[in-house]
Structure formats: structure tokens, C-alpha cells
A and B are shown apart, each in its own frame.
Chain A
């Protein structure tokens, strides 16, 4: 008898487990660059990306991460840990944690999905004892950030990306659950059998209503 495919619970970190936006992490990392002058220039570059967020979040994301160009991998790794401990560790959303524990109790593999950097997300994953995580990685050359993210850039997970992940890990997406909080997570929620909107933004709330996805409020 063949073994039944495993199921997983996909948690989009931003919105379900963390209320602080990724842009805050970018700004904090930029503000802690090695040289004082460099910090100001980087924050300036971040400010320039702000107006783009409304029109094209993907482009804005790429522009904002470019503010970290030239920072060393050493600094990103150390600051990633510090950022988690100072700004995130004590602020994990109780509702998200509760949902995560319930999913774990149902025997699901816990997978975090984040548009933040791996150097930060790995600590979130460790704190919530996630089985796996998907996040962005900064492209490095000679130990320094080029300012570009390694492709494919993670926003949320699209249906195709999710199916690839499921194939690689022997998951049956129909039996998987997904948790998201913003319109960006709609594709993730559409691709799993058990979607759930967690304190959704206006757009996702409307979509949840249309697709009859469960909505939970903090």
C-alpha cells in the first residue's frame, strides 16, 4: 500500500505571525550599515522606493533591497539575528501562533513563507519550530551584497511555485492549509485545499468572501 502524501500548513509570515512590515526590516538594516554616511545614503534610496509601493510592489521590493548593496554578508547575518531578537522575537502574533500550533497538532508540516531575508526568517522559523521556510536571499559577490535578490524573488508563493514545492516534498496540496493576510497571498490561498485569511486587508477580505474562505480575526 503506497504511503499517503503528507500535508503542510503554509504561513505567510508577514501579517499572520508578524505585524511589522518587511520594509521596516530593510530600513533597519540600512540604518545599521558600517559607515555613518552610508547609512544616510541607503535610507535615502529606501525613501525613493516608497512612492512605487502602491503601483508596483514587486519593483518597490527590488528597489528597497538594493539599499543594502555593498553590505557584507557578515553584517547581514549578525544584524539579522539582532533584528529578530530586538524587534520580532517578543512580538509574534498570538493568533498566528495559535493557528500554527493547531496545524502542528493536526500533523501538518509547518512551512513559513516570507518576503523578508533569510538571515531574519531563519530565526523566526527557529522560534516557532517550523519545519521549513521559504524567504528571499541577497545575492552576494565576494562576501558583499550586490543589492539584488536571488531569483526567484519570493513575495508570497504562486500556485506554480507551490506545486513545485509540493512535488519536491511529496505534499498533496488539496490536504494542505494556507494562511495569509494580504492580497499578495491570494494565489497561495487559492492553491491549497484549506485556505484561511488571517486579519485580512480589504482586498483579501473581499476575495475571501467571494471564494468562501474562512476568515479569522485577531
Chain B
């Protein structure tokens, strides 16, 4: 049975549609499978309200372009006939759902839980509340509805256990082999991080994570969630673990990205004066385009609806089509070179990036951290000069230099922080994630759905990285790191509203 047949008439509940992966998954599902019975979206509405928030996103997010292109002015009606939006907050007891909303979920056929905090080093309180307790709360709804629960986790719950990572979960055994009771551990750490200062909470959270072999708070919160969910009696659980999710290869369109993913900061770093990345060149950099993740999730959801989904499904690339850090860094440099050659950036940048390619490795020349110690004294010197009586032109030039100095100093601090957070992933460990399950599910797809197969082996990294990923990052992610706005699509006129068709309303 294919995906369409599995989804036909079914009620699927999705969290995280406002995020990167959730958005692409929802749009792909709605674009390809209009036969779905109902897609309920659990969205934190805030002051705007959940429905209005979804309407705004559907109207202006570039991710919705395929649906807009297909349905035009009728998109509001098309969505209203299939989508139900409920106001829900992972941080509130019972997700903050009112009784009627809870009852609307009791007939659900499957739950897909995409929502979560994806920062590498968030406040542990927020990470545990969202990624761990939030997941348990959504799973409780699935258990109540006796519906399969797809929990979107991350391959990096493998933590310090690198090498080949199988699609399995050994409940109560942490990445460094420590035996632990997930419930007691959760209670313990919730107590441990009960500190008023954010920095204290982060330090305690990091220490607790490392104790069990998780390199940061993010993977720890996701890892704990997996162990706790696996211990929930009566829960039909499938854990979907994407690795590093990056720009779309083709859907909703090539290069689409949202927010700052892992490669974004690395590309940004390479687009600064920084030339030597402290990464292990031969280690695998496990990246998957977001549309392949969405496809993998769809294939898994179809299997879950047929009650034949495996317990763990990894969506990664390193086992069948590995990309190394060395190659990624070279491709990023080549992408930047082509980007500046085609008229982007200044003439100086064009020359700089052409003659000084980024390389992977430690030490070496031009690591500009040493100059940071000079910043305060140079700044004081410039300030002293600015206080003197100087011609306006000289003052203007000195002020420009001072601003450049401040910006450079800020960049170096940001780079330093970034490298500290990324170190375990780019230089410390080398993971190879098995993807047997999703490839087996893809192989069973009928001919008319073969284009939805998880075909990571067929991805040409050179063409993807230079023609799709790098320009995508420059458009959708790097501006955020530079404190600028990213483009959104213009709202429709009149703005998109979820108004059911008469046929659907009369049902």
C-alpha cells in the first residue's frame, strides 16, 4: 500500500508546523495528498491566535509556494477543507488544550511530533520543558487516541558513541554506556537546573549531559525524550531521527531554508576573513536536505498508519553517500568563489576568496584570534584621536575604522562561541548513521510514488552544495547571522483566510 492509500481519509495531527522541517513536511503532504481526511496542526497562537498565525505563515512563507502555485486564490478554501488549527503550547499543562480541542484529537489516526528547540546550547529548562516534557505530553494524546506516534528526534542522540550508529534504542543505557533510569534522571536534572540565573542552569545542564555522554543540552534533551517515550506503556512509538537538516534540494524549491542550521554558521564563518576551520577533514558531516527528511517522514508515517513502522528510522547520509568536513569546506569555498564571481560582494572579497581558500584543520596561518588582544588598546587609541581637534574628513574616517573594529571584534567573539559549541561535531566525533529502515520502506513504494523515495544515495553533493545549498544559505540563513531580515513572500490580496468550501461545510 502506498502513501496516498495509507493517508486517504485519515486524521493526522502535527506539531511544529511553524518550524523548518514541520513546514516542508506539511506542505509536501498537502501538496501531494489532497485525499488526506484531516490534518490537525497544533500551533502556539500567542497574542495573534493559532489560526491567524497559520494563515499568515501559509500566506507569506516561501515554503507554501507549491500550494499557492497550484491553488492560487483558492488556497484558503483548499486548506480549510483539510486543515484544522488548534491552539496548543508545549510548555503548558495538557498543552493548554481546551476540552473540545482534546476531544477533537481523540479520533486521530496518527501523531507526528516535530516541534522542539533546536539550538545546540539552549537554556536547559526550556530544552527539557519543550523537547522532553512537551514530547511526553503530545505522546499522551497519541496514547489516548490509540494512534501511532512519530517522534522527530535527531541522529545526534548517539552522543559520544560515535562510529556506526544503528537504528535502535537501548532504553536506560546512555551514550557512554551508563545505566540510568530515565524517569529518575529527568526528576534529578529538573531539580538540578532549578537556578535563577540562566548561565548557572546552562552550566549545570551541560555537566549533566556530559555525565551521560551527550555533548550538549540539545542532544541530551532529545535523548532523554527518546528513553522516556520508549518506556511509555501502550504507546505505538516510532522515532524518526534526521541528522543535520539543510536547504531543500527541490521542494518547495531548490535552496529553501529557514533559520540558522548547522551549515549556516560554517558558511558564514567561511564568508568572513576566517580561513582555517578547526574540523577533522576526514570526519563525516552528515547532512540531509529538508525535502528528503520530509519524504522520509511521509514514508514512515504511511508505514505507521499501516502499523508496520520500525521503532527507529534514521534519515541521514553518512552510510550510503558520505560527505566529509574536508569536502564540505572546500565546496563551501568554491561556492563562495562562484558567488562572488557572479557579481556578489565587493572586488576585495572576490580577490580574497579566490586567493585564500578555506581549509579544514587545526593551527596554521591566519587564525585572527591573536589580534583580539589588541582590540581594546587600538580602540582607546582611536577614541583619544577622535577627541582631538581634527579635520572633519579625518574624524569621519577614524569613526569608520572604529565601527569596523567593533564589528570585527564582535565577529571574533561570535566565531569563538560558535566553534566551542560545534567542536564535538566537527572535530571530536565521527558518526556513521545507518539508514536501512527508510530505504527499505522507500523500496516498497508503488511506481507513482517513487519520486517520494528517500533517495539520499542519488544526491550529487557537488551540484547540491554549490548550486543549491550555498546560494540557499546566502539568501535564507546568512542574513539572520548578519542581523538582517530574510525575504518573505508578499501577502495575498485579500489576505489568505481559512474558509471552508460550501461542500465541505455542509458535510
> Which stretch of B46-54, B295-303, B354-362, B442-450 is in the interface?
B354-362
A32-B354, A72-B330, A143-B327 as given contacts; A78 in contact with B359, CB under 8 Å: no
Q: How far is the CB of B246 from chain A (nearest CB, A)?
A: 17
Q: Is the CB of B359 within 8 A of A34?
A: yes
The residue in chain B whose Cβ has the minimal distance to the Cβ of A37 is B365
A39 CA / B355 CA spacing, docked (Å): 10
Q: How far is the CB of A104 from chain B (nearest CB, A)?
A: 30
Q: Is the CB of A74 within 8 A of B331?
A: yes
Q: Is the CB of A78 within 8 A of B466?
A: yes
Q: Per a CB cutoff under 8 Å, which of A32, A35, A74, A82 touches B462?
A: A74
A36 CA / B355 CA spacing, docked (Å): 8
A43 CA / B331 CA spacing, docked (Å): 23
Interface residues of A in 135-164 (CB under 8 A from B): 143
Asked if B337 is an interface residue, CB under 8 A from chain A, the answer is yes
Asked if B65 is an interface residue, CB under 8 A from chain A, the answer is no
Q: Is the CB of A34 within 8 A of B337?
A: no
A77 CA / B465 CA spacing, docked (Å): 13
Q: How far is the CB of B161 from chain A (nearest CB, A)?
A: 27
The residue in chain A whose Cβ has the minimal distance to the Cβ of B342 is A85
Residues on B with beta carbons closer than 8 Å to the beta carbon of A36:
355-356
Q: Per a CB cutoff under 8 Å, which of B327, B333, B341, B356 touches A82?
A: B341
Asked if B90 is an interface residue, CB under 8 A from chain A, the answer is no
Q: Is the CB of B334 within 8 A of A74?
A: yes
A72 CA / B327 CA spacing, docked (Å): 9
Asked if B338 is an interface residue, CB under 8 A from chain A, the answer is yes
A75 CA / B359 CA spacing, docked (Å): 13
Q: Mark A45-87 against chain B: 1 for CB-CB distance below 8 A, else 0.
A: 0000000000000000000000000001111011000100110
Residues on A with beta carbons closer than 8 Å to the beta carbon of B337:
78, 82
A73 CA / B461 CA spacing, docked (Å): 12
A34-B359, A35-B357 as given contacts; A82 in contact with B330, CB under 8 Å: no
Interface of B is mostly: helix
Interface residues of B in 431-473 (CB under 8 A from A): 462, 466
Q: Is the CB of B338 within 8 A of A78?
A: yes
Interface residues of B in 332-347 (CB under 8 A from A): 333-334, 337-338, 341
Q: Per a CB cutoff under 8 Å, which of B327, B341, B354, B355 touches A74?
A: B327
Residues on A with beta carbons closer than 8 Å to the beta carbon of B357:
34-35
Q: How far is the CB of B120 from chain A (nearest CB, A)?
A: 28
Q: Per a CB cutoff under 8 Å, which of B334, B338, B359 touches A35?
A: B359
Q: Per a CB cutoff under 8 Å, which of B330, B341, B462 touches A34?
A: B330
Residues on B with beta carbons closer than 8 Å to the beta carbon of A82:
337-338, 341
A211 CA / B333 CA spacing, docked (Å): 52
A32 CA / B357 CA spacing, docked (Å): 9
A143 CA / B327 CA spacing, docked (Å): 10
Residues on A with beta carbons closer than 8 Å to the beta carbon of B341:
82, 85-86
Residues on A with beta carbons closer than 8 Å to the beta carbon of B338:
78, 82
A62 CA / B428 CA spacing, docked (Å): 41
Q: How far is the CB of A86 from chain B (nearest CB, A)?
A: 8
Q: Is the CB of B359 within 8 A of A77?
A: no
Q: Is the CB of B327 within 8 A of A34?
A: no
The residue in chain A whose Cβ has the minimal distance to the Cβ of B324 is A143
Instruction: Pick the most buried of A35, A72, A74, A143: most chain B CB atoms within 10 A of its CB.
Output: A74
Residues on A with beta carbons closer than 8 Å to the beta carbon of B356:
36
Residues on B with beta carbons closer than 8 Å to the beta carbon of A77:
462
Instruction: Pick the most buried of B333, B334, B341: most chain A CB atoms within 10 A of its CB.
Output: B334
Residues on B with beta carbons closer than 8 Å to the beta carbon of A73:
462
A34 CA / B333 CA spacing, docked (Å): 9
A74 CA / B149 CA spacing, docked (Å): 42
A73 CA / B330 CA spacing, docked (Å): 11
Residues on A with beta carbons closer than 8 Å to the beta carbon of B333:
34
A34-B359, A82-B341, A143-B327 as given contacts; A75 in contact with B334, CB under 8 Å: yes
The residue in chain B whose Cβ has the minimal distance to the Cβ of A78 is B334
Q: Mark B342-385 against chain A: 1 for CB-CB distance below 8 A, else 0.
A: 00000000000011110100000000000000000000000000
The residue in chain A whose Cβ has the minimal distance to the Cβ of B275 is A36
Q: How far is the CB of A29 from chain B (nearest CB, A)?
A: 13
Instruction: Pick the most buried of A34, A72, A75, A77: most chain B CB atoms within 10 A of its CB.
Output: A34
A82 CA / B462 CA spacing, docked (Å): 15
A74 CA / B355 CA spacing, docked (Å): 17
Residues on A with beta carbons closer than 8 Å to the beta carbon of B327:
72, 74, 143
A72 CA / B359 CA spacing, docked (Å): 13
Interface residues of A in 89-126 (CB under 8 A from B): none
List 6 A-B pairs, minimum CB-CB distance, nearest first: A78-B334, A34-B357, A74-B462, A74-B331, A34-B330, A72-B330
Residues of B within 8 A of A (CB): 327, 330-331, 333-334, 337-338, 341, 354-357, 359, 462, 466
A-B contact pairs, 14 of them (CB 8 A): A36-B356, A73-B462, A74-B327, A74-B334, A74-B462, A75-B334, A78-B334, A78-B337, A78-B462, A82-B337, A82-B341, A85-B341, A86-B341, A143-B327
A-B contact sample (12 more), CB < 8 A, given A77-B462, A78-B334, A78-B462: A34-B357, A35-B357, A35-B359, A36-B356, A74-B327, A74-B331, A74-B334, A74-B462, A75-B330, A78-B337, A78-B338, A82-B338
